[in-house]
Amino acid sequence: MRPRIAVLGRFAAKVDVLRHPGVVISRPLAETIWRAGGDPVTLLPVDSPDGKDWSSRLTGVDGILMPGGGDVDPACFGATDVHPEVYGVNAVQDATDISMIQWAVERAVPLLAICRGFQVLNVALGGTLEQHFDAPHRHQRHHINVKAEHELIGVTSERIDVSCHHHQRIDTLAEGLTAVAWADDGTVEAAVAGPELVAVQWHPEDIAADDDAQQRIVDAFITRVRGS
């Protein structure tokens, strides 16, 4: 059987095929999970006690993928000023993401965090973010340097090409996370915490259909899920 992978949905103001705002995950992400052998399940972000009852909501789920999305509210990591480039902040999204991540980490549930997922993971564990940086990695393909060809990520080369779309980045890395990949400008691009938790700042799903190196990142996640 395919392992079921929970993906917390992202609020979308407009979805072309609907008459209302949506709760979505990207099709390329869902298809990347499916190609890896998993079955993606979209969950509704709900900031209420029953919405955060993950022991019930994740019954029958084998792993969690925390996807990209809008920015984390700077207040979540203690900032009092908000950079004008910050966008897409949603209190329900932040609260649900943080709650789900903390639950998964406490129980060593296999977790793959992508882009915003990495950032909110860092915040959930006590780290901070740089709200905006010069020459942001928006709509950008660039190379990153990977420590020891990191097998937990599924990367088999010390330097790989990735697809990025972010203007924020890790400032203070949370205790318990270990950085294992960096862009040439010093941006932390990946971190791990034991075999259960892997986070990448780029979007493997952008090019995974045509790039085996990116597909292997999600393949490695599904392999960890199957072995947990």
Confidence check: pLDDT of 126 > 90:
yes
Q: Give residue 90's Cα distance to chain centre.
A: 16
Beta bridge partners of 39: 4
The answer to whether 143 is a known catalytic residue is no
- In contact, 189 and 71? CB cutoff 8 Å: no
Through-space distance between the first and last CA atoms of the chain, rounded to whole angstroms = 15
Query: 17 falls in which pLDDT band (50, 70, 90)?
Result: confident
Contacts of 39 (CB under 8 A, 6+ apart): 2, 3, 4, 5, 33
Supply the angle between the helices 116-124 and 91-106 in degrees, to the nearest 10.
70
Average pLDDT over residues 16-32: 93
What would the pLDDT profile of 152-172 be if each residue is shown by its tens digit?
999 999 999 999 999 999 999
The answer to whether 115 is a known catalytic residue is yes
The answer to whether 76 is a known catalytic residue is no
What would the pLDDT profile of 93-113 be if each residue is shown by its tens digit?
999 999 999 999 999 999 999
Topology, domain 4-227:
Rossmann fold (3.40.50)
What is the pTM (predicted TM-score) of this model? 0.96
* Catalytic residue selected from 76, 115, 150, 166: 115
What would the pLDDT profile of 183-204 be if each residue is shown by its tens digit?
999 999 999 998 899 999 999 9
* Catalytic residue selected from 150, 166, 167, 203: 203
The span from the CA of 155 to the CA of 132, in Å, is: 28
The percent of residues above 90 in pLDDT, for the chain, comes to 92
Query: 19 falls in which pLDDT band (50, 70, 90)?
Result: confident
